[in-house]
Structure 1
Amino acid sequence: MLERADYLRESIDFLQRFIAKSMQKEAEGYGFTVPQIRVIAEVMTNKTSNIKQLTHNLKMTQSSVSDIVERLIGKGILEKTPNPKDKRSVVITLTKGAEDGINKKDYTHLNEMITGALSQLNAEEQEIVMKGMQLLVGAVKEKMTSEGMNYNESFDVMLFPTHENKQ
C-alpha cells in the first residue's frame, strides 16, 4: 500500500508543480512574482491575515513577507488596517479593487492547460480520470471528517456531474 501512497503523493506533487508553473506564467504576465502570488493567495484564502501568520503558513522569513506585503500595498493589492482586537497589530487584507478583480478573474488559461492535457486521452479515459478524482476527493473528505479536521467552502471541491449524479 505504501507504493500506492508514494505514487499518489508524487502524482499530486507533479500536478501541483504543473499548476504552479502555469500560475507563474500567468502571474508574470501581470507583473507579479511567485512569492507575491503566494502571499496574495494566502491572504485571499484566509480573508484576513497578519505577518506572523503569513510567515508561518508560507514558511518564509518575516523580513521577506514584510517586504512582499509592502510591495503589494504599494501596488494597491493589499492593505493594512489596525486589528480591532489588538491595536498593536495590523490585519492584512485584499483591497476592494483587488478582491473584485480576483473574483471576476476567470481561470481560462489554467483550464485550457488542463483541458489540453485531458485532450490527450480518449473520452473513456477522461471519464476514468474524473471518477478517480471524485473517489479520491471523497475519501480525503471522509478522512478529514473522521480526524476532526474542518475544511471551509473555499477548500471544498464541487461535485462534477456524471451520469450517476445527474439523475
Structure 2
Amino acid sequence: MKEELIEKQSDEIIRLFKSIHTVMGCKLQSFAKRYGFTAPQIAVIFHLYKAPGITLNELSSHLMLTKSTVSGIVTRLVNQGVVIREIPKANRRTIRLSISEDFKKHNDILNMKKALISGCISDIIRNMDPDKVEEFIKALKNFTYLLNKHSPK
C-alpha cells in the first residue's frame, strides 16, 4: 500500500516538473522570438551578459547542454555579431566568449532579462501571499537538496 502511494507521488512529481519545464520553455521560446532569437540563443546571451569571458566548456556546463550544441549556438550568434570570441594572449588555447559591444549598445540585455522573468515568474507571484511564496521556495530548495544528496557520485 505504501509503495503504491510512493509510486503515485513520484509519478505526479515527475509529471509536474515536466509540465513546468514545458510551460517555461514555451514562454522562453515566445519571448526569444520577439527579439529574433531562439530560446537557446537568448539563454546564451543572458549567460554571457552575466558572466562575460567564460569558456565554451563553462557555458555548456551552465546551460546543461553538450559542448557541440552550445558551439553551434555560439557560432550562429558570432555570425550575427552578437557574440565575440577572444583568444587571451596568456593562454592561446583558451577561447573566451562575450557579448559584442555593438549588441550591448543597441540592446538593453538587463531589461530583456527582467521582462522575461516578469512574464514567467514575477507576474505570477506578485499576487500571491509572500509567506506562501517563501514556503514554495523552501520546499523546492529542500527537494533539490534531497535529489543531490541521493544522486550517485
Query: Could you state the TM-score of these two structures normalised by the residue count of structure 1?
Result: 0.58
Q: Aligned residue for 1:101?
A: 108
1:91 deviates by 0.5
Aligned residue number for residue 66 of structure 1: 71
Structure with bigger helix share is: 2
Displacement after TM superposition at 1:17 (Å): 1.9
1:51 aligns with 2:50: no
**Partner SS state of residue 109, structure 2:** helix
Q: What TM-score comes out, normalization by structure 2 length?
A: 0.62
Give the alignment's Cα RMSD to 1 decimal. Answer: 3.8
Gaps of 5+ in 2: 1-5
Tell me: CA distance 1:51–1:111, structure 2 relative to 1, closer, same or farther (3 Å): closer
**Percent identity over the alignment?**
17
* 8 Å Cα contact 2:86-2:97 kept in structure 1: yes
Q: 1:82-127 CA distances to partner (integer Å, 9 max, x unpaired)? A: 13552122101223443962113254465346577679xxx7xx43
- Pick which of 7-16 and 26-35 moved more: 7-16
Q: Following TM superposition, by how much is the alpha carbon of 1:28 offset from its aligned partner in structure 2, in angstroms?
A: 1.0
Aligned residues: 139
Bigger RCO (CA 8 Å, 6+ sep): 2
Q: Is the 8 A contact 2:85 2:98 kept in 1?
A: yes
Residue of structure 2 in register with 1:139 after alignment: 142
Relative to structure 2, which stretch is displaced further, 23-32 or 104-113?
104-113
